[in-house]
Structure 1
């Protein structure tokens, strides 16, 4: 069954070509539950996924270098601080110290552009 398309307006994030399988993430800022947070989008197995940049073990940024979240195999997202490993498709913790899963952000990819979608708890940062 295909993923449901979110009914919230999409916010352009990047060109599709900016995301390479198991490569660098595209970072962006969001308001999550009233707090400004970092988020990131990645491509894995041809599909785009996005999450808050916050480990489920302790809410710390996960990238070990700017915009680098994949382990050396390119199959797991890894928290540089705690070593927790997450599935890129679901954000579910697979090993290491963690509690559950990463906070996912709905994304769509249309006509060569990746968009992220708001929710009641997730809003764009206004400047």
Structure 2
């Protein structure tokens, strides 16, 4: 029997394009399903809860549309908070200095996985 943590599939790397739409999904945290997203930014993959650090509301303008017009920050459509895609740090807005909640992800055989239970976006 293996002691390695179970990995849950989020999506294939081919489903994400550089600075394009994010892939939306849900994860189970503390017994509750929470909205999350993963995006490709500067050839790396980053995943966060889809929850603004200011007030916990979903942030995308349209499903999967998180980046500002210049494609340099994740922007909350509700409050205008701007987060760095690679760290989740809020650099502008009502929660400056706060961070998005990061989802641990791993790339395995061209698939993006996590050790948290994953569910389709609703």
TM-score category of the 2 structures, normalised to the smaller one: 0.7 to 0.9
> Could you tell me which residue of structure 1 aligns to residue 75 of structure 2?
78
Is 14-23 or 59-68 further displaced after alignment?
14-23
CA-CA distance at 1:88 after TM superposition: 0.5
| Preserved contact between residue 40 and residue 50 of structure 1 (Cα < 8 Å) | yes
CA distance in 2, matches of 1:124, 1:26: 12
Corresponding residue of 1:115: 113
Q: CA RMSD in A?
A: 1.4
SS at match of 1:94: strand
Q: How many residues end up aligned between the 2 structures?
A: 115
Question: CA shift at 1:55, angstroms?
Answer: 0.1
Q: Deviations over 1:50-97 (max 9, x none)?
A: 000000000000001111000011110000000000010011111001
Answering whether residue 11 of structure 2 is matched by residue 10 of structure 1, we say: no
CA distance in 1, matches of 2:45, 2:5: 18
Q: What is the TM-score of this pair, normalised by structure 1?
A: 0.84
Aligned mates of 2:10, 2:47 — CA distance in 1: 11
Within-5 A mapping of 1:51-66: 51-66=48-63
Following superposition, the deviation at residue 35 of structure 1 comes to: 2.2
Q: Which runs of 5+ in 2 are unaligned?
A: none
Q: TM-score, normalised by structure 2?
A: 0.87
- Which one of 93, 97, 104 corresponds to residue 94 of structure 2? 97
Unaligned runs of 5+ residues in structure 1 are 1-6
Distance 1:83 1:8 in 2: 37
Q: 4+ residue runs of structure 1 moved beyond 4 angstroms?
A: none
